[in-house]
Chains A and B, each alone.
Chain A
Amino acid sequence: MCMMCSVAYATAGVGLLMTSGPLLALNNDTAGNTSQKTLSAQVASLPQAPGALSNIKAPRLTEPKWLKDQNAAEAAAKAVQQANRRVVTYDVTTKGVITANLAEFKAQANASLNDSRGWSRLGVTFQEVSSGGNFTLVLSEASQMTSFSSGCGIDYSCRAGRYVIINQDRWLGATPSWNNAGGSLRDYRHMVVNHETGHWLGHGHASCSAAGQPAQVMQQQSIDLQGCAFNPWPTASELWSSQLGIGR
């Protein structure tokens, strides 16, 4: 170290020693000692704002009275609407050897029927019952499909009288045309339940209205989309039911 430079810092050094007693007292044995901490790490930890800001969160807003009243009114209206909805019951059974998950079938079918995009828009609630429902929903082994009616085939799902029959092979794997169009299995399941139930509700088959348009749910989307986009839900024009005496 330059000896002449000691003159420059003599006063400063003495002053520092005299005024920085408490500081040096903290660790007097540090001159020249290596430390695991670095100056940059120590200095970088010093800003106050980050710590101060981390304590500041958006507060909850006490719900205003007008909002409470509005929410209560909406809930009441919804409850009345629910109470006034027509209930259609159905029981569930199987035919043949079933490898699909039956509990999942029941849950997903009920979800499809009661989805706000589906046949529930008729003002109907679909309720599963243990027996004696308005219709029977069947999950059938493919080879058993023809046992319901000569009009039913082993390749697709079907409706025969009170029986809404879902082909297990279709339930598990959809169809090539559906899959090739990029449709999901869940959407296929929505579609096939809605389609076959639509027959029970009184609908016949429909054709694609125009290329690129959403297909009507009563179109035979399992076979051919005919240029329409796949669509698992009844369109507005399909919201009627001769079975239930609704619409048309």
Chain B
Amino acid sequence: MGTLHGASNSGHNTNLTTAHITAIHSSIDALIDNPSATDKEKAAIRTSLTEVSKAIDGGSHDVCQVNAFAQWQESIIQSLKEEREQCRAQVIKMTRFNEQLKRVVAFLQDDQATAEQITKLPQADEFGDAVWQAQVTAWQSVSQTLQKRSASQDYKATQQLSVQTTKAVADAWGVVIAAHAAKDKQKYTAAQNDLAEAYDGLDGIAIETAKMMAELAKELEREYKVAF
């Protein structure tokens, strides 16, 4: 077994250790233990996830292929054949883990895009009527931008919710403006209440995001345990 396994021209390159696979495993372990309280720390972890995915992608997918001579060897040495089957099985596990990881990365990218759109909206504790129309425009713009963005499959439900909710806020501002123009106290009071309710709807986006993310994270962990 020593000669065959030591020979670099045998078609079975088994001189390398498992250190490189361990490196990926270590990266993920490190990622788990990283602090994630601040936005900066979370951003670092998001970047790390992307790097891990790329690293797995960068591996050769033909690793388990051997030349004709090696195949002949396998026909007479059972352990070599078993080794290649194990190799294939490991590649499958790593691939499945990476597919799940890509879903997570894509979802986080979509989430980041939504957060960026929303955080650029003008904020203040109080708005005078001179800027109410600008609020309509700003929220409509965000809604349209979110609508046009091509999102991952897992994010589509959250995307739709985000589009509807931001449009609802824009519409609520419009009703406030109309009641103000009409100088109708009853309608104006109702419009104020409806505006507050529309803003409360933003909580729904946070809830949907958290729910989807938890499901994806759970699946990722499942594939991680299988792969490693």
Contacts and interface: CB of A to CB of B under 8 A. Distances in A.
Interface of A: 1-17, 19-20, 23-24, 26-28, 30-33, 35, 37-62, 64, 66-67, 70
A9 B206 contact: no
B16 A45 contact: no
Interface in B43-90: 44-46, 48-49, 51-52, 55-64, 83-84, 86-87, 89-90
23 contacts: A4-B14, A5-B90, A6-B20, A8-B91, A9-B24, A12-B56, A14-B20, A16-B23, A16-B27, A26-B30, A37-B32, A39-B221, A42-B45, A42-B217, A43-B213, A43-B220, A45-B36, A46-B36, A48-B111, A49-B115, A53-B115, A58-B196, A67-B185
B21 A1 contact: yes
B63 A46 contact: no
B48 A20 contact: yes
B196 to A, nearest CB: 4
Contacts of B162: 49
Given A31-B26, A49-B206, A9 B125 contact: no
A28 to B, nearest CB: 8
Given A23-B48, A55-B123, A48 B115 contact: yes
Given A6-B17, A46-B42, A17 B23 contact: yes
Interface of B: 12-14, 16-34, 36, 39, 42, 44-46, 48-49, 51-52, 55-64, 83-84, 86-87, 89-91, 94, 104, 107-108, 111-112, 114-115, 118-119, 121, 123-129, 132, 162, 176, 180, 183, 185, 188, 192, 195-196, 198-200, 202-203, 205-206, 209-210, 213-214, 216-218, 220-221, 224
A61 to B, nearest CB: 6
Contact of B111 (A13, A31, A45, A47): A47
Chain B contact residues, majority secondary structure: helix
Given A7-B13, A8-B60, A12-B55, A31 B83 contact: no
Closest 4 CB pairs of A and B: A13-B20, A8-B63, A50-B206, A48-B115
Contacts of A37: 32-33
A189 B180 CA distance: 44
Given A3-B83, A31-B29, A59 B115 contact: no
A30 B26 CA distance: 6
Given A8-B61, A16-B23, A47-B213, 10 more contacts: A4-B87, A8-B87, A11-B58, A11-B60, A26-B33, A31-B25, A45-B42, A52-B118, A56-B199, A58-B195
